[in-house]
Chains A and B, each alone.
Chain A
Amino acid sequence: MSITAIGTIQRSDMGSGTWTLVTDSGETYELQQGTAKELLKPGLKVKVQGQVREDVMTLAMVGPVLEVKSFDVI
């Protein structure tokens, strides 16, 4: 499933920790391996286009896994 979402990058400390995109509508997506490091800054406001990976499971379990295809810092 391909989605475009606007939200804020946040660090979650569930388990050993992970990166998340919390959208303006309140959904939490987990950003997984391969996400550009320019994106991984807490508080960064971004527009992200990506693929929801239903075949990936994670230790943080805070939301669906989003594989980022492209993004714009707002």
Chain B
Amino acid sequence: MKKLLLCLLVIGLGIALFSFSGLAKQGEFQSIVLDFREEVPAAQIQAEVSKIAQQYNVQPQYNSEFSASDHVYVLKGDRQLLNQLKHSQLAKDTEFIEPNYLYRVPSGDTIPTAFPPAEASPTLKGPNDPYYGRQWNLHKLGVETAWDETKGSGVTVAVIDTGISHIPDLKDTKFVQGYDFVNNRVEADDDNGHGTHVAGTIAQSTNNGYGVAGIAYEASLMPLKVLSAAGGGTVADIAEAVRFAADRGASVINMSLGGFGESQILKEAIDYAHAKGVVIVAAAGNANQNSASYPARYPHVIGVSALDAAGEKAPYSNFGAGVDISAPGGSAAGGILQETIKPETGEGVFAAFSGTSMAAPHVAGVAALVQAAGVKEPDEVLNVLKQSARVIQDDALNHFGAGHLDAAGAVKLAVQGQITFRDFFRWLRDNGYLNPRFWIDGGAVMLLPKIAMVLGSYLLAWFLRVYFPFRWSWSLSSGLIAGSSGLFFLRGFYLFDSPQWPFRVLGSSIPELGNAIGGSSVLNPLFASVLIPLGLIALLLGHTSWKWFAIGSTLGVASCLLVSSVVAPDVWLLGQGAIARLFLITNALLCYGLARLAVQGEAA
């Protein structure tokens, strides 16, 4: 019996080991890479290569024209041949013999360049680009309505990225001279695929019966290559590129790149470009963390978070401080489709990428449209973008900044001449929409209900005083504020690299404390009730001055609950309807009654 059990155990272990994917399938490969040691003479390498060719009937070849100097050969073969080679004489003359693994094309989702010939339909309102139907991101912006006014003509957009290649679907797009800061030359072609994709979102040739559309397709592109084929670059090169763009007439800069270190050289370059009237847009970053990465978080840079096709924050997108607005960036369910290059061959390919890298060029493209419509100054362009954005309610974590980017609304606002509204919006921004420059960034605060709550609480206090005269005191006033609204202006503060909940707590009234830490707007029925005021009065009634704080906060809570019941009756477990409303009004009346009792005791 013991033997049988042991046998079963061994068999079971064997099955488990062989079916373990980490061991059984370590990646796909159809060829093998040989890298000869540097010190092995060329003649000896030749001899060994022809020996392999004979012995195993294969044809070793250089991997590319750059491989000769490194002595890197590639030959067709499977795992069996790989093992034979590893155990042969060859092993001692090579640095490594290993599988030439196949890695997926980044972000996978590419669709073939070959498609049926497109026929422009004169009845069609949209552009005749055959893949326009797949560009959900452009439909979301309402870009066709924006095109009724302008297509970005006369504006130059600098794309600071991996370069831009002249693929077929950029044939009709205008270019101005750029620069390759990686290789120090004038031609700034792309060797990665990222920069060309980003440029496509901004100004892909549109209505040309081919491929896909871009947002500001009559604008000019300035290609500035600062990122290598591997996708990275130094802040020194990026800063030079920003100054180059500002000096050579670009009025919008797109930076779909980011890092985690602050850099004075880049910050100064951005200040320089901003002073020259350049709108600077950057991606918020893809680490799904609170606070945008650099350069998006610098002053004068419009930080862009990414949305998926459903309009939610994309799972990877950064949020919080530094996010000014949100735009489509795509997700696994649907990426952003543009024509770019295959980095291996440099040929054009239609590929769907996702990232805040893809979201930023949407904002850069719409900024170009806004400039073409007549609003030039960077701060005013930002105002137009923010004021026209579709506001998202209950955005306690600042996922969306001012809201979802709206091309149609932005161009409309720019064309109308925002002068009529400007003063009103300035007032709104200065009061409710705080945007201090360097380390604090702003989010909208529900201003009017808050004012109603504070005024309401004072009104209730005044009402009580008519019947039971008492003196105004600081403790009463602070109680009124704590109960009704809290220091609500603090709620819109987003501090870089720190949690947001302390501001939400400070910015919340007593009834809102139950939902402040989680950042929800649904009231917690335990906190949004007469319970806390009851506790406060019971605790503090004996104290001559704190008693007034308790009375004040009781009146404040009454006002807060009353206003909430009218404006937004939304209570956890009770819903948003009549039940929640009744609950809030009942508790408000109980609070008022409680305060009245407490004051009555005082007066008597």
Contact = CB atoms under 8 A, between A and B. Distances in A.
Contact of B261 (A11, A16, A28, A55): A55
Interface in B241-290: 256-263, 283, 285-287
B374 interface: no
A32 B357 CA distance: 17
Contact of B259 (A18, A41, A56): A56
Contacts of B283: 61
Contact of A58 (B26, B258, B318, B353): B258
Of the listed residues A18, A42, A53, A56, the one surrounded by the most CB atoms of chain B closer than 10 A to its CB is: A56
A18 to B, nearest CB: 5
A33 B232 CA distance: 7
A3 to B, nearest CB: 13
Given A15-B106, A33-B232, A63 B260 contact: yes
B107 interface: yes
Contacts of A42: 27, 103
B98 interface: yes
Contacts of A6: none
A41 B107 contact: no
B232 A58 contact: yes
Contacts of B161: 59
Interface string A25-57: 000101011000010011100000000011111
A59 B231 contact: yes
B189 to A, nearest CB: 15
Contacts of B235: 55-57
B101 A41 contact: yes
A57 to B, nearest CB: 4
Of the listed residues A42, A54, A57, A65, the one surrounded by the most CB atoms of chain B closer than 10 A to its CB is: A57
A41 B293 CA distance: 27
Contacts of A72: none
Contact of B285 (A13, A43, A61, A65): A61
A65 B259 contact: yes
Interface in B314-352: 316, 318, 340, 343
B353 A57 contact: no
Interface string B189-223: 00011100100000000000000000000000000
A5 interface: no
B356 A57 contact: no
Nearest to A12: B286
B256 A32 contact: no
A74 interface: no
A58 B285 CA distance: 10
B107 A60 contact: no
A43 B197 contact: no
A54 B259 contact: yes
Nearest to B195: A59
A59 B103 contact: no
- Which interface class (under 10, 10 to 19, 20 to 34, 35 or more) fits A? 20 to 34
B389 interface: no
Contacts of A57: 227, 232-235, 238, 257-259, 294-295
Contact of A61 (B26, B107, B238, B286): B286
A63 B288 CA distance: 10
B529 interface: no
Nearest to A64: B260
B96 interface: yes
Nearest to A54: B261
A14 B263 CA distance: 24
A16 B263 contact: no
Of the listed residues B236, B256, B355, the one surrounded by the most CB atoms of chain A closer than 10 A to its CB is: B355
A59 B258 CA distance: 6
Given A58-B257, A63-B287, A64-B260, A14 B232 contact: no
B293 A61 contact: yes
Contacts of A11: 103-104
Contacts of A16: 106-107, 162, 192-194, 197, 231, 340, 343, 353
Given A15-B106, A16-B106, A59 B194 contact: yes
Contacts of B103: 11, 42
A11 B27 CA distance: 13
A34 to B, nearest CB: 8
Given A58-B257, A59-B357, A62-B286, A15 B27 contact: no
Given A56-B232, A58-B227, A60-B231, A15 B287 contact: no
B353 A38 contact: no
Of the listed residues B162, B227, B286, the one surrounded by the most CB atoms of chain A closer than 10 A to its CB is: B286
Nearest to B108: A13
A61 B197 contact: no
Of the listed residues A17, A30, A41, the one surrounded by the most CB atoms of chain B closer than 10 A to its CB is: A17
Given A38-B98, A57-B233, A62 B263 contact: no
Contacts of A15: 106-107, 194, 197, 231, 256, 286, 353-355, 357-358
B478 interface: no
B47 interface: no
Nearest to B294: A57
B236 A65 contact: no
A21 to B, nearest CB: 14
Contact of A41 (B27, B194, B256, B260): B27
Which 10 interchain pairs have the tightest Cβ spacing? A54-B261, A17-B106, A57-B259, A33-B230, A61-B258, A16-B194, A13-B107, A61-B285, A15-B357, A32-B232
9 contacts: A13-B104, A13-B107, A16-B193, A16-B197, A32-B232, A56-B259, A58-B231, A59-B256, A63-B287
Given A16-B192, A16-B231, 14 more contacts: A13-B104, A14-B355, A15-B357, A16-B107, A17-B106, A32-B231, A33-B229, A56-B234, A59-B194, A59-B232, A59-B355, A60-B231, A60-B355, A61-B287
